[in-house]
Amino acid sequence: MSGYGNLQKIRNGKRTFAITPHIPGGFILPDDLIKIGEVTKKYKGVLKITSGQRILITNLKEEDLPSIWEELGMEPAVKVQNSLKNVEICPSNYCKRSKYPTIGIGMKLSKNFHGMELPCRTKIGVAGCRNACTSVYSKDIGVLVDLDKKFFITAGGSAGYYPRSADIVTKGLSEKEAFHLVETILNYYNEKAEPGEKLGDFIDRISIETFREEVLSLANLEIKL
């Protein structure tokens, strides 16, 4: 990584780089979106809408990266690879299927934990109903709302090299309890897992029963499945 830019391709000796500005939950103001377009055009970049609700700007020259970041006036989405890389949020507040306006808790999670250094790269998905838009069950931590308008938390999902469906940790939570449990899971994972160990692999190593029992005990919550 150079100036928060990732090397993409080397063709005929030409090196091109990409950057990814932080866009919390994929929600962006029109002026900021216009700015991204204008800066990209100026430096002959190429835009890519990513699966992580972000905008990748690629085909950039390494020497232009500091100027590009300065002109954007935005923070990098990822500064440390083994960290909480992003919190993906569905448009629950505007969706007819949503059972609860979860953009608020999603933004709160992003504000408090985005960039937090962890044993391995980690993603959180937040959805306002069981349709689980943002592919919540394939995220390391999932925050969802059930038919009773109560939250439930999942953990251990992965859509990577070794796919894994998430386990439900517990159900019947308030928004405050859901936030507290996510915080507890992140801290527990940080303390107990081995370096480079994905949350799902950590859960498999100690068993979902042990993981569930210990994080809920630390959060002073009951097991409800």
**Is 167 among the domain residues?**
yes
Among 72, 100, 129, the domain-final residue is 72
Instruction: Quick: pLDDT tens for 9-37.
Output: 787 888 899 999 999 999 999 999 999 99
Residues 104 and 68 in one domain: no
Q: Indicate if the alpha-carbon torsion angle 61, 65, 70, 76 is positive or negative.
A: positive
Q: Verify that 95 and 176 share a domain, yes or no.
A: yes
Residue 149 is predicted with a pLDDT of 97
State the residue range of the domain holding 95. 84-218
Q: Domain tally for the chain?
A: 2
Would the pLDDT of 147 be above 80? yes
Choosing from 46, 72, 98, the residue where a domain stops is 72
Q: Is the pTM higher than 0.85?
A: yes
Average pLDDT over residues 92-111: 97
Residue 223 lies in a domain: no
Q: Which residues contact 14 (CB under 8 A, 6 or more apart)?
A: none
User: Lowest-pLDDT range, 1-15, 100-114, 158-172?
Assistant: 1-15
In this structure, are 67 and 169 located in the same domain?
no
Residues 121 and 183 in one domain: yes
Dihedral Cα 186, 200, 83, 75, nearest 10 deg: -100
Tell me the per-residue pLDDT of 182-195, one tens digit each, with 9 for 90 and over: 999 999 999 999 99
Residue 18, domain CATH: 3.30.70
One domain, residues 109 and 192: yes
Looking at residues 116-124, what average pLDDT do you find?
98
